[in-house]
Structure 1
C-alpha cells in the first residue's frame, strides 16, 4: 500500500495534533489507568518496580500485545484490527511486551512505519519509541520488551541491508541508542528504564534474535492458522500446552512465548473471546495461587480481558 508524500505530511501533522489532543485525553486516561490495581494489589503502571532487580527476565511472566499498534480498522480492515488501547494505555495497564512490525515509509527514506502486512497503521517507529521513553521516564522501575520485525510486505518492503541501515539511523541519527538494551537476557535491574530489543530482522550484531518457533533465545507458541473444523479448540490446547511447558520447566534457559491470538479465518475479536472463554481464563483462574514464569504472553484486545491481563501480572507475586 503506497503512501504519497503529501499524505505522509498530512498524517504527520494530524498525528501531532492528535498527540496534543491525545496528550490531554491520554493523560486523563493514564491517570485513571494509573489507579488500576490487580486482584493481588499490584499497581498496573509500576508492577515491575516491586520485583527484585536480581531476577532474570527469564524468571517473569510478561503480558504483551500482538500487533500492538493495529488500533484502527480504517488502517486495514477488521481482519487486521487487534487492539483498542494505544501504546501509552497498554503500558499503564501493565502490558510489558510490544509486537512492532515495520516496513519502509514512502517519502521518508530513512524512516520506518508500523504496518500490519502492507497496511500502514499511521504511526511511525519514532512515535512508538517516544511513547516508551516517556513511560519509562515516568516509571523508571519498569522495562519494555519489544519485538522489532521487518514485515517484508507490500510496496514499502525493505531488504535486509536497508532495514539494518534504517535501524542504525534510529539508534544513532535520531538518538535512540541509549533507550535500548541489546545483548543477552538481562536481570530486571539491568533492564529497568530500557527497551529490551528482540530482533525479528536479519542482522550481524549478535542481538537477541526472535524466533516464532525455537532457537537459542526463545521457545515460542505462535500457531495462527490451523486446518479442519476444530481450529479454535486446537489452538486452545496449544496455549494450555505451552503454559504447562513453561510451568514444568522453571529453570529453562530460554524465554517462553505463548501467543493467545489466532487468525485462521476468524475475526480477531471472535477468536480472542472464544480462546479466553474456553482455554485461557479457566486455566489461569484454576491456578490463582500458583506462581509461574510463563514468559511473554501476547494477546489481542486486553481491554476485553483485563481479568486475564491482571492475573498474568499477579503470577509474578504469588
Structure 2
C-alpha cells in the first residue's frame, strides 16, 4: 500500500487551497475563521442555536477518533489520525473527543495522551485547559469526552492507579467543576461543560463507555475485518449503525458510529475510501432529513469538511 504522488498532493492541499474529489473536500479557510454550514449554522456555536430542552441523546454529534494524534513523528503514519489540533476541531464543530491516556513518565500524578504506547506530546491538563477555554468563549456549547485508560507500553497503569490520577485531576488540580458526570443530560444542563464518558474502571456511577453495548451506549467500532473487501464490509457496518440510530429515536442509549478503520490501511487511505464510497453518498442522499445519529467520530475531518457539516446540519433539517 504505497502512497502515490497524487495522494501526497491531495493531502498537502489541505493546508492551502480548496479541492473537491467525490465526497472529499479540502478546506481553504485559515485557522480562526468561522465557517457556516449549508443550513446556516456557525460551526463554532452550532449547539447554541438548538433548544436547550433537547437531550444529548436526540442529537447528531460529530467527533474525532484518537483526537490528539496530529503528528506522525509521535509514532508513525499508521497512528496519525488528525491534522487539526483540538482548538481548531472545536472551532470547526467537532463536539466529541476521543482522549486516551497512559501514565506520564517522570510525573507520578499526571496522565499523558497516547496512541497505544506512542506519547502524543500533550498532557491531559492541556486537553482540559483547551476545552475549558473554548467553553468559556462559547458557553452555549458542550464537549463530550471519552476518557480511556490506554493500558499500553511502559507507562501503562492499573485500574487503581489510573483512578487515583483521575481523582487528582478532578480535585487536586481543580477540574471537577468542568465536568458533567452522571447520566445523559439535556443540552441546557450540558452547556459549558465536558460530559465525561468513562472508559476506565471506576466505582463512581459515571456514564460508562462500551465499545459494544451497555446501558449508556451502543457503539460500532469495527477497525479490523478479514476478507477481500474489508473497507466495503466496514462501510456496511457504518450504514447499519446509521440506520439503527435513525430507526430507534427513543432509545435510551447514545449511538456511536466510528467512521475510522485501521486493519492494515493507513488512516488517510481508509478514511478517504470510506468517506467517498459510503459516508458521503449516504448523507448526501438524505440532506433534507433530520436525524439523530448520535456520536460520529472520524479521522481527518479537515479532508472531509462537507461530511462534518452535513452531520452538524442533521440537528436542524
TM-score over 0.5 (shorter chain): yes
Distance, in Å, in 1 between the alignment partners of 2:31 and 2:171 is 30
1:29–1:89 Cα contact (<8 Å) kept: no
Aligned to 2:132: 133
1:262–1:271 Cα contact (<8 Å) kept: yes
Residue-by-residue CA offset, 1:215-250 (whole Å, 9 max, x unaligned): 000000000000111100000010000000011111
Aligned to 1:317: 316
Distance, in Å, in 1 between the alignment partners of 2:305 and 2:32 is 17
- DSSP-derived class of the 1:203 partner: coil
Aligned to 1:206: 205
Distance, in Å, in 2 between the alignment partners of 1:253 and 1:155 is 38
1:151–1:51 Cα change, 3 Å = same
The CA deviation at 1:29 is 5.0
- DSSP-derived class of the 1:272 partner: helix
Distance, in Å, in 1 between the alignment partners of 2:55 and 2:30 is 31
Q: Please give the residue correspondences for 1:51-90 in structure 2 after superposition, counting only pairs within 5 Å.
A: 51-90=50-89
1:30–1:88 Cα contact (<8 Å) kept: no
Aligned to 1:282: 281
Aligned to 1:16: none
Task: Tell me if 1:243 matches 2:233.
Answer: no
2:78–2:266 Cα contact (<8 Å) kept: yes
- DSSP-derived class of the 1:31 partner: coil
How big is the alpha-carbon RMSD for the aligned residues of Structure 1 and Structure 2?
Answer: 0.8
Unaligned regions of 5+ residues in structure 1, if any?
Answer: 1-27
Aligned to 2:37: 38
Aligned to 2:26: none
Distance, in Å, in 2 between the alignment partners of 1:232 and 1:144 is 30
Aligned to 1:113: 112
Residue-by-residue CA offset, 1:29-70 (whole Å, 9 max, x unaligned): 5531x2x00011100000000000000000000000000000
Matched residues, number: 289
Distance, in Å, in 2 between the alignment partners of 1:289 and 1:29 is 29
Aligned to 1:266: 265
Residue-by-residue CA offset, 1:248-273 (whole Å, 9 max, x unaligned): 11111100000000000000000000
Residue-by-residue CA offset, 1:99-141 (whole Å, 9 max, x unaligned): 0000000100000000000000000000000000000000000
Q: Please give the residue correspondences for 1:170-209 in structure 2 after superposition, counting only pairs within 5 Å.
A: 170-209=169-208
Moved over 6 A (4+): none
1:105–1:113 Cα contact (<8 Å) kept: yes
Unaligned regions of 5+ residues in structure 2, if any?
Answer: 1-28
TM-score (norm 2): 0.90
Distance, in Å, in 1 between the alignment partners of 2:61 and 2:304 is 15
Aligned to 2:96: 97
